[in-house]
Structures are given as structure tokens and as C-alpha cells.
Structure 1
Amino acid sequence: MKIEKIDLYPVSVPYKLIEKSSRVYRSGVSDIIIKITTSDGIVGWGEATRTASAKVILETLNAMKPILINSNPWQNLEHENNIYNTALWHWSPITANLAYGGIDMALWDIYGKDTGKPIYELLGGNLRNEVNYFYYLTWTNMENLAEQCQDGVDKGYEVFYLKIGKDEKVEEEMIKTVRKTIGPDKKIRLDTNMSWTIPQAKKLINKWNEEYSIDFVEAPVQIEPLSQMKELSKKVSSSLCVNEGLWKENEFIDIINSRCGDYLCCSHYYVGTIRKYLHLAYLSNYLGWMICKHTHGELGLTAAIGQHLMLVIPNACDGHQQTAQNMVDDILTEPIPITNQPNWSKIENPGIGVEVDEEKVLFYNKKFLDEGEFLPYGDSF
């Protein structure tokens, strides 16, 4: 079996509501869909996500294609070595990881289809029968925020997630509204995207945790230097979650060893391959961390590979991140379960286990080509 062809489709799929935070103002998801076809006719699908620019990831994938063509897809370690070391992509690790994470996903899809097994079985089997996801609250107004909360309660969500870090007075009213609507027992998680100072973080986390019971605060202060998070973790009553700063293996390991929080919010894109991600998950579990699956904004393929990984790692928490509930559409033939509910059970079909709708891929590829990508900063510039 050889890799015969690699097709790349940049796509743009809109959100129902604009994603707003201290860092982003984004109207949809722009990712690169990857189709790897083997000489045996097996097709592996992947999705490469982005941070700042999908076009940069597309060019990176185009540069990686010649290294993989006519090679054995099962030579996973060889592909990784050729990309990162021989082709020197280790010098641009964050960009390389975001791009190669999509290729690696497509390769694992091939492995699953070739063996007739879902990916989670190839990774050792499931440690849980279902995975729980959060309800993503979107900035609008207080009335609509309460409606979103009630919608989540009605659908059975236990974890509610809110991006903050722009206006603490408004945000306190928002948190108050959330707690009042969802009741005393469900979890509230906050994400500031590193927008607070240490004094501000100490004050607000302790105050809001006492008044509204906060499950964890994600990325409250700058991750560099790491001493800031270590200092803050000793001064606050709520758990802390690290998201930024996990973009290279050595940084990931430094953060794990620091014990500057309780949760790591990340995905396999952070380190480029599924295997590396599993290694780091086991190391973090040994040192007492929980893992929450991260999303940059994702389509169904990325959501599905995340589901496989959360089924198998030992330290997966509840309330994983997702954007499925806020997507106008997807590039799959059927909606994934977490489009309108909090829990997703085992995926039993071979490989990634979801079916790509190639007509939709072409439709949203045309949207990308005609209208451009959804930039993370909207029309700010």
C-alpha cells in the first residue's frame, strides 16, 4: 500500500453566533480538510486547524505533501521523522503541529479502515463508554445569555463555559446570570485568554468563586514566565486550567512538572501527532493533572478524533470543549451527537468513524475561495 494522492480543501463554515472574547471575534471556522488516497483505494480524512491564518496552514500542508507521496502510510514514525527532522519543520513547531496534526489524523483513519477497527481500539481501547462536553455560552445580552443557559439546562448539560477578560463589571453580571439560571450544582468555567494581571486574577477568582462557585479558570494570566501561574495557583481558591504555552513538547513537559494548575486544556494539534499526545496525557496523569479537550473552533472530523482520544486517555475530565452546537453546518453526512446534547458514546465505525460529505466539502471550499477565511479578529483592522 502506498500514499497515491493528497488533496487539500480549505473550507469556511459559519457560526450561528459570533464567537467573542478578549482575544477573538470570529464568525465561523476556517480549516483545511485533508483527503489521503492510497493505492488500495482507502481514503483517510483529516482536518488541519489554525490559530491566526488558515492560508499559512494550507501552504505548510502543500510543502509537506511531496514528503509523503508514494510512501507506506503505515510507516507513521518514519513520516513524522521525515517531516520534522529531514524536512526541518522542527524549526517551525507550532505551524508544523497544526498542519501535521491533520495529516496524522488522516493516516490513523487509514489504519482504522484498513483493519476494520475504530481508532480508539487501535489506541488500546476505551476507558469510558461516553464523553461529556460543555455548553458554550456566547456573548450577546443578559436576556439572551439566560436563554442560552436555560437551553443548556433543558438539554442536560452539566458544564457551562464563558469567555471573559474584557469588562469585569459586565462579566460579573454575566456570571451572576449564569449561576442564577443553571442552579447551584452545575459547573461554571471561565476563560480569560491570559488577559488578567496577577493582582486582578487573585481578586476576581477568589471573589467570584466564593459568590458563584467557579469550577476552574482557564488561562487567567500570561503563561510566560511560568512563575506567574505558579504564584497565582497558591493564592486562589478555584482550580486553574492551563491552555496557552503547551505548543511544544518541552514546554508541555515543563508545565506538567510545574504543577501550576489542575487542568490542561489541549488537543493533539498542540504536539502534532496522536502518539505524542497520548504520551503526554499519561505523563500528566502520573503527576495529577486532568485533561480537557481544547477546540480552536472545529468541524466534525476534529471533533471525532478528539472523541476517540478522550475515550482512551486515563485523565479525561468532564465538560470538554466543542463548537458543534454553534455551527450552521458541517462537512459530514450526519450531525455529530454533540450538536445538541452533552454526551457522545463510543464511535463504532472503522477509522475516525464519521462519513465526509464531499459535496459539502466542495461547497464550503468555494465559500473559502470566494469570500476568504474567517479571521480570528473579524474586521478589527
Structure 2
Amino acid sequence: MKIERIKVLVSRPGRNFVTVKIETDEGIYGVGDATLNGREMAVAAYLEEHVAPCLIGKDPRNIEDIWQYLYRGAYWRKGPVTMTAIGAIDMALWDILGKHAGLPVWQLLGGKSRHGVTVYVHANGESIGEVLDNAAGFIDQGYKAIRLQCAIPSTKGTYGTLEGKKNYYELQGNRPLPPEQMWSTRKYMNFIPELFKAARERFGYDIDLLHDVHSRLTPIEAARLGKLLEPYDLLFLEDTVIAENSAGYEQIRQHTTTPLAVGETFNTIWDAKELIEKQSIDYIRTAVSHGGGITPMRKLSDFSALYHVRMAPHGAPDLSPISTMAHLHINSWAPNFGIQEFVGFGTPELNSIFKYELPLKDGMLLVSDKPGLGIDIDETAMGNYPYVRSYLPVSRLEDGTLWNW
């Protein structure tokens, strides 16, 4: 079997997605997700100009060798553009291998470790009451873990909400330049504990609650927040500080027992190595797309398990359903899986392009038994949604200082 053609397909069914399709001389093809939010065309060009020409004629079943070829052979390693491109190729190769073998990818990885993949959803809102009402709706649907995000009073555009829009799919709109939001750490710190106090009073302690700080705090501020939230028993507190300096998480760890999660912007195991080895975190959030694919994710899982760190892959709407399906295969296999972020079943536009099934039972998604990843694409439908340049927001302090979004 040989790789005959590699297509890079860019579409915007509500937001931009980059999809890779690898075709072989035996008629088998595989698909991968190459979406990098706000930098989609950089990955598309990397794939078209620098990756695809090197792979024509190669045997797609040699997944490890191709991964090493793309990572080590390019000299310029790591980084989100490179690793997202590699991740898409890797997903497509595993998809091909599964179809060739007549087996789902989870079977190729070593079989299942669990019956289903527990997921958490996002309950957002502009007031505590609205957030809790949205959370109640998810509980009625059977979800058992919910991330709560609420707009801070008198602060426009707090993370998780944007100018009155509550649907996460609407956070990235048609904008010529990045929208800007204001941030106040003091207002945030004085407000967020009230959100979780109200949530526990309404829902009790049988529902897992989570929160994403989105790297807005310093280590000592994050430590204080963790202590303030300890009475409300969060499953984890995500991205409390920027993780470039891993010592920040060591400092947080000294002051709070609230579990910590980080890693959605990580691209390799090296980004997480010290955090995992020093057990400064409890959950690693690297995504299959931005982290280089299924091949390195299984290695990250094995390494994390040695230090009691669980897998909780990033699953926001900047990943296409291809990544969602890939995550389900990895999570079904990984012995140290914790929980999967999940933003729902997509929009009609999205589902006109990506063809997949995601059964939900008791707050868990059930992985496909179909050969490969269990997802297909409609290239014709992609043509109905051309690419439109768009960006994630930019955050500033109230005095105008640029801050972390």
C-alpha cells in the first residue's frame, strides 16, 4: 500500500476547520484534523508545501517511522503549526490502518480500559442564575460533569462569554481583527467563589464541577483561588497560570489541594515533562491535534501514568469532530484516562460536513466500533462554507496592559 494523494481541505461551517485526507493506491483513505484556531492557513500551507510532497509513495502503515520523519527529519521541531500538521497526518494514518485491518483504532491501541468515556460540558452565562439554569439543563440530559464560566459583573467579555453571546460556537465571529476584552483579577477573585457556592447549594456534591481560569492569574493569586474553592470540591481548576515556567505550578501546589489541570496549548511531551515528573498537576490536557497525533498521545499517557497524572484532553470547538473521535479511541484505551472536554454534537452546518455517531449514555460517550476512527467527511458540502479569516479575542487589563486570553 502506498500514499497516492494528500488533500488539505479548509472550510468554515460556523468556524474554520482544516482537514487532511490521505488517499492510497488501494482505495483506502484516512482523515485527520489540522485546525489551529486563528492560524489555520499557516498549518494548511505547511502541509501543502512542506509535508505532503515528502509522503507520496510511502507506506501509510509505517506510522511510527512517518511520525519520526516529520518530527525529527525537519530539524525545526515542535511548535503549534508543525505539531498540528503532524497530528493531522498521524490521525489519518491511524484511520487508514484501522480500515486496512478491519478494526477500530481503540482495538489497535490495545483494547478498551472502560465501558465509556466520561465527558464534561460547558455551562456559560452572564449571571450566576443563568449559568446554573444552563447547568441544570445539562444535568437533565444525563451529564455528570460540568464546567462553569460566568461573566464578572461590570466586566465586559469575561472568558466563557462574549458580548452577550452564550453559545460557545459564537465566540469566534466574523471580525476583521481580534476583539478585545477587559480583565480585572480583583473583581474575578471576589466573584467566582460565589458561583461555586451557589452551584453546590443547588446541585449538591454528586455532580463534578470544573472551572477554567485561562491563565489569567499569577501563581500566588492562583494558590489563593484554589484555597477559596476547596470547600466546593472541584474536579479540577484549569490553566490557572501560564505554564512556560513550570515552577509556578509548584508554588500553587504548596498552598491548595484543589486538583490542577493544564496542557491544552502544549505541543509535545517535553512541554509537560517537569510538571508531570514533579507531580505539580493532576490532569494533562494536551489535544490529539495540537499535540502531534495519536502516536505521541499514547506515549504521553504512559508517561503520565507513572506519576498519577490523568488524561483530560482539550476538546473545545476549535477542534473538529475528527479530533473528538480520535480522543474517544485514545481515552477508551488509556488506563489513566480522567475526563474528556466536550462541547456538544455540533451545528447542522458542521454535521453536514463531518459524518459520525456519538452515542451518549450516563454522561459518557461511547466509542465507535467501525474500522478506523469511525468518521467520514463530505468534500462537496465543504465547498458551501469557504474560509473566512477570524481570530480569538485579546485580553487587556483595565489600564490597557495586554494580558493573557
Normalising by the smaller structure, the TM-score range is 0.7 to 0.9
How much does 1:245 deviate? 6.5
Look up the match of 2:270: 250
Partner of 1:4: 4
Say if 1:223 and 1:244, in contact at 8 Å, map to a contact too.
no
Query: What is the Cα-based RMSD across aligned positions, in Å?
Result: 2.5
Please state if 1:37 is matched with 2:57. no
Q: Which residue of 2 aligns with 1:160?
A: 146
- Confirm or deny: 8 A CA contact 1:127 1:311 kept in the other structure: yes
Out of 64, 76, 86, which is 2:73 matched to?
Answer: 86
Please name the residue that 1:22 is paired with. Answer: none
Residue in 1 that maps onto 2:393? 377
CA distance in 2, matches of 1:195, 1:59: 32
**More displaced 10-residue stretch of structure 1: 124-133 or 196-205:** 196-205
Work out whether 1:188 is the aligned partner of 2:174. no
Distance apart, 1:240 and its partner CA: 1.1
Of 319, 323, 326, which aligns to 1:305?
A: 326
Q: For residue 234 of structure 2, give the secondary structure of its aligned residue in structure 1.
A: coil
Q: Classify the secondary structure of the residue corresponding to 1:230.
A: helix
- Cα-to-partner distance string for 1:141-174 (whole Å, 9 max, x where unaligned): 3343222111111011111113477533443443
Contact 2:118 2:365 in 1 (8 A): yes
Match of 1:135 among 98, 121, 124: 121
Structure 1 pair 11/199, CA: closer, same or farther in 2 (3 Å)? Answer: same
- State how far apart, in whole Å, the 1-side matches of 2:223 and 2:73 are: 46
In 1: Cα distance, 2:200 partner to 2:247 partner:
32
- Once the two structures are superposed, residues 110-130 of structure 1 have per-residue CA deviations (whole angstroms, 9 ceiling, x without a partner) of 101111110011111111121
Q: Secondary structure at the match of 2:11?
A: strand
Give the Å deviation of 1:294: 1.2
Q: Could you list the per-position Cα deviations for residues 64-118 of structure 1 after superposition, in whole angstroms to 9, with x for gaps in the alignment? A: 110111221112233223322333342x533211111011101111101111110
- Which residue is equivalent to 1:285? 305
CA distance in 2, matches of 1:206, 1:238: 7
Q: Residue 292 of structure 2 aligns to which amino acid in structure 1?
A: G
Instruction: Quote the residue 2:133 is aligned against.
Output: 147
- Change in Cα spacing, 1:64 to 1:277, as seen in structure 2 (3 Å) is same
2:117 and 2:331 in contact (8 A); partners too: yes
In structure 2, the partner of 1:26 is: none
Q: Which residue of 2 aligns with 1:178?
A: 199
Q: Secondary structure at the match of 1:127?
A: coil
Q: 1:21 maps to what in 2?
A: none
Opposite residue 10 of structure 2, the aligned amino acid is P
Question: 1:192-341 residue pairs with structure 2 within 5 A?
Answer: 192-210=213-231, 212-243=232-263, 246-297=266-317, 298-318=319-339, 320-325=340-345, 327=347, 329-330=350-351, 331-334=353-356, 336-337=358-359
> Partners in 2 of 1:77 and 1:205 — Cα distance?
40
Q: AA paired with 1:201?
A: A
Distance in 1, Cα, partners of 2:23 & 2:346 = 31
Gaps of 5+ in 1: 15-28
Higher helix share: 1
**Equivalents in 1 of 2:282, 2:394: separation in Å?**
32
Please state if 1:58 is matched with 2:44: yes
Offset of residue 334 of structure 1: 4.6
2:3 counterpart letter in structure 1: I
- 1:324 is paired with a residue of what secondary structure? coil
CA drift at 1:189:
0.8
Greater shift in the superposed pair: 197-206 or 65-74 = 197-206
Sort the Cα spacing of 1:276 and 1:205 in 2 relative to 1 into closer, same or farther, 3 A.
same
Deviation at 1:292, TM superposition (A): 0.7
The unaligned stretches of length 5 or more in structure 2 are: 151-158, 160-182, 397-401
Identity %: 23
**Residue in structure 2 matched with residue 117 of structure 1 by the alignment:** 103
Give the structure-2-normalised TM-score.
0.81
Q: Residue deviations 1:244-275, cap 9 Å, x none?
A: 57323323222211210211112233431322
Name the SS of the counterpart of 1:363 in structure 2.
coil
CA deviations 1:188-246 (Å, max 9, x no partner) are: 11111211123322222212222x32221111123232111011112102111122573
Matches of 1:327 and 1:134 in 2, distance apart?
A: 18
* 1:83–1:89 CA contact under 8 A, matched in 2: no
Go from structure 1 to structure 2 and tell me whether the alpha carbon gap of 1:375 and 1:327 turns closer, same or farther (over 3 Å shift).
farther
Specify the SS of the correspondent of 1:269.
Answer: coil
Deviation at 1:374, TM superposition (A): 4.0
Change in CA separation of 1:55 and 1:180 when aligned onto 2, cut-off 3 Å: farther
User: Given residue 348 of structure 1, which amino acid in structure 2 is its aligned partner?
Assistant: D
Equivalenced residues, count = 358
TM-aligned CA distance change 1:199 to 1:106, over 3 Å = same
Contact 2:121/2:344, CA 8 A, preserved across alignment: no
